[in-house]
Amino acid sequence: MTNPSPDAAAGAAWELLAEHGSFGGVQRFHRHASAEIGLPMRFALYLPPQALQGQRVPLVVYLAGLTCTEETFTIKAGAQRMAAALGLALLMPDTSPRGADVPGEAESWDFGVGAGFYLDATRAPWSRHWRMESYLMNELLPQVWRHAPLQRERSGLFGHSMGGHGALTLALRHPGVFASVSALSPICAPTQCAWGIKAFSGYLGEDRSVWPAHDASELMRAQPSAPYPRGILVDQGLADKFLAEQQLLPEAFEAACAAVGQPLTLRRHAGYDHGYYFIATMVEDHLRHHAQHLDRSAA
């Protein structure tokens, strides 16, 4: 069995912070200098045993939620066991810029400004470093596709909460890049909820005409036909306090999918809240969803 590292170009750019054997594969944590963000960024990359044996494998990208880092899902969700069984690599980027010294950055995380929200801010002072969409789509993913043993055309995207918003919006804003998409407890209509309104006001300004371009329900409603005809999977806990507070609004995304004929499996689960016990319960189903769709994408 071999244990491939990134090639020389990536090795020079990616600092290896930690490496752990996991279910026959390897879990690595990296840091690199981001040109898009203008600050160091961290990410976690899991390579399953199939990749260590020389195969090129599909990739599933996970976008975490508010207050999380590249470590949160990686450590708490227990995803590596199923990823190893299915032969999936996992990429877990950090959620946000760190250490920008923007006034109010740390104090603002409770409502979204300060967290990355997986978009490019256009309003100062956030516009200098808060470029998470460009970072992910134009920098991190191309590097990972290029330098890790992956099949670029077999890439899936999922996330939780703010990361569920990111997964749905980025999948819709970048057609053809991801062959599968799913979400856990996503913020489905940020133009209609307090979290989204505060974040969009801070990052994009008060002109609400530009906000729908980053709202999954609005983006879906604008589709001429179903962008993911094999289906999208969304899971939502019914004991989620943020659901009760009208922050998540899955019914808006459900209606938008119905309007354009997009197949959607929206599962509602009694007794589950917004946290990682729910994510750990559902992660196997989501990885199987991606594995099935990514296997078809190779046909």
Model pLDDT for residues 42-82, shown as the tens digit of each residue: 999 999 999 999 999 999 999 999 989 999 999 999 999 99
In three-state secondary structure terms, 43 is strand
pLDDT interval class at 110 (50, 70, 90) = low
pLDDT interval class at 1 (50, 70, 90) = very low
Distances, alpha carbon 124 to alpha carbons 103, 104, 130, 208, 256, in Å = 11, 13, 10, 17, 32
Residues 6+ apart with CB under 8 A from 239: 270, 271, 272, 273
Task: Tell me the chain's radius of gyration from C-alpha atoms.
Answer: 18
Query: Which residues participate in catalysis according to the annotation?
Result: 161, 240, 274
Distances, alpha carbon 162 to alpha carbons 115, 117, 128, 129, 229, in Å = 9, 6, 21, 18, 24
Give the span between the Cα atoms of 200 and 162, in whole angstroms: 13
DSSP assignment of 17-30 equals: EEEEEETTEEEEEE
Q: Which residue(s) pair with 181 in the sheet?
A: 157
Residues 6+ apart with CB under 8 A from 251: none
Distances, alpha carbon 15 to alpha carbons 12, 37, 86, 201, 293, in Å = 7, 17, 28, 35, 32
* Res 103 pLDDT > 50: yes
Model pLDDT for residues 232-280, shown as the tens digit of each residue: 999 999 999 999 999 999 999 999 999 999 999 999 999 999 999 999 9
Give the span between the Cα atoms of 198 and 174, in whole angstroms: 25
Question: Percentage of the chain with pLDDT > 70?
Answer: 91
Read off the DSSP letter of residue 182.
E
pLDDT interval class at 115 (50, 70, 90) = confident
Cβ atoms 266, 238 nearer than 8 A: no
> What single-letter amino acid sits at 197?
I
Q: What pLDDT does residue 105 have?
A: 63
Give residue 120's Cα distance to chain centre: 15
Model pLDDT for residues 170-222, shown as the tens digit of each residue: 999 999 999 999 999 999 999 999 999 999 999 999 999 999 999 999 999 99
Phi, psi dihedral angles at 269 (to 5 degrees)? -120, 115
Cβ atoms 147, 10 nearer than 8 A: yes
